[in-house]
Amino acid sequence: AQSVSQHNHHVILSEAASLELGCNYSYGGTVNLFWYVQYPGQHLQLLLKYFSGDPLVKGIKGFEAEFIKSKFSFNLRKPSVQWSDTAEYFCAVSSNTGKLIFGQGTTLQVKP
């Protein structure tokens, strides 16, 4: 069965610090990988995704993620966080059936 593991449950950073959130998945077939974000009081929304092509994908607000197939990883990065990046971040995987399997989420708190 597919599963997703997010290593960091709660991360606290100061503004301008660099961010890397870990995500590992368990699935042997073709995968589609996603990072979703939920800002306080808002809906869950897509940050970025990978399904084919260049394994380094760029998303909104300066975020990027790299798919490393040999490590079953899809870590999220941002070189310099802002206070407005405070949110909960979810990594998810799907096969070609569409349903998403989510990790437990990482709460990011950015101190101004």
11 - beta bridge partners? 108
**Angstrom distance (rounded) from CA 17 to CA 51:** 29
69: contact with another protein by CB under 8 A: no
Does 45 bind another protein (CB under 8 A)? Our answer is yes
Using CB under 8 A as the binding rule, whether residue 96 contacts another protein is answered as yes
* Residue placing its CB nearer to another protein in the complex, 85 or 94: 94
Do residues 1 and 86 touch, judged by C-beta distance below 8 A? no
**Residues contributing to the site for another protein (CB under 8 A):** 4, 6, 32, 34, 36, 43-46, 49-52, 90, 92, 94-105
